[in-house]
Chain A
Amino acid sequence: MDIANIIIILVFVGLVLILMLELLNRAILAIIGGLICFLTLKFIKGEPFSLIVSYLFGSPEDGYVNLHSILLIFGMTIIVQICHKAGVFKFIAFKLVLSIIDRTQYLLLILCTITLILSALLNNILTVMIVIPLIITISRILNIDPEPLIITQAVLVNIGGTVFAISSIPNILITNSANIEFNEFFLNVGILSIVIFIITVGFFYILYYGKINVPKENVKILKEFNPWNFVQNRSLLLKSATVLLLVIIGFTLIPSDVLSADIIALIGAMMLVLISKLDIDKIVQELEMDIFIYLLGVFIIAGSVEYTGLLEKIGIFLSNLSGGNFFVVILLILWSSAILSSTIDNIPITKVLIPSIDSITATFTGANKKLAYYSLSIGANWGDNLTPMGDNILVMNLAEKNKRPIRMIEFWKVGFVTTIIQLIFATVYFTLITNIIAGLIFLVICCLLFAFLSIWYISKQKGTTLGMTFQNISKKIFRKTNYPKSLKIKRTIKITKNEEPSQEEK
Chain B
Amino acid sequence: MHYLNRIKKLIPGVIQVVMFYSNGTVFHASSNQTINIPSIGESLAEIIEKYRHLMQLYDFEEESYKKILYETNKYIIAIIKLGEESHLALLFDNKEIQDVKIAPIKHYLTKLEELIDMDQSELNETPDNAIN
A 225-259 to B, binary, CB cutoff 8 A, 1 in contact else 0 = 11011111110000000000000000000000000
Q: Are B132 and A209 in contact (CB under 8 A)?
A: yes
A 117-146 to B, binary, CB cutoff 8 A, 1 in contact else 0 = 000000000000000011011011101010
Q: For this complex, into which size category does the number of interface residues on chain A fall?
A: 20 to 34
Residue among A139, A140, A214, A234 facing the most chain B CB atoms (10 A cut-off): A140
Q: Which residues of B contact A136 (CB under 8 A)?
A: 23
Interface-side segment among B9-17, B101-109, B122-130: B122-130
Q: Which residue of B lies closest to A86 (CB)?
A: B38
- Tell me the bound Cα distance from A404 to B38 in angstroms: 23
Is B96 on the interface with A (CB-CB < 8 A)? no
- Tell me the bound Cα distance from A230 to B33 in angstroms: 11
Q: Which residues of A contact B83 (CB under 8 A)?
A: 140
Q: Which residue of B lies closest to A147 (CB)?
A: B123
Q: Which residues of A contact B21 (CB under 8 A)?
A: 137, 140
Q: Are A213 and B23 in contact (CB under 8 A)?
A: no
Q: How close is B20's CB to chain A, nearest CB, in angstroms?
A: 9
Is A48 on the interface with B (CB-CB < 8 A)? no
A 261-284 to B, binary, CB cutoff 8 A, 1 in contact else 0 = 000000000000000000000000
Q: Which residues of A contact B39 (CB under 8 A)?
A: 232
Is A309 on the interface with B (CB-CB < 8 A)? no
Q: Are B132 and A230 in contact (CB under 8 A)?
A: no
Q: Which residue of A lies closest to B26 (CB)?
A: A229
A 179-220 contacts with B by CB, 8 A:
209-216
Q: How close is B113's CB to chain A, nearest CB, in angstroms?
A: 10
**A137-B23, A137-B25, A234-B33 are contacts. A210–B120 as well, Cβ < 8 Å?**
no
> What 3 pairs between A and B have smallest CB-CB spacing?
A229-B26, A232-B36, A213-B130
Q: A232-B36, A403-B85 are in contact. List 8 more A-B contacts (CB 8 A).
A: A105-B132, A140-B83, A140-B86, A141-B115, A141-B116, A213-B129, A225-B27, A226-B28
Chain B residues packing against A (C-beta within 8 Å) = 1, 21-23, 25-29, 33, 36-39, 41, 83-86, 115-118, 120, 122-123, 126, 128-132
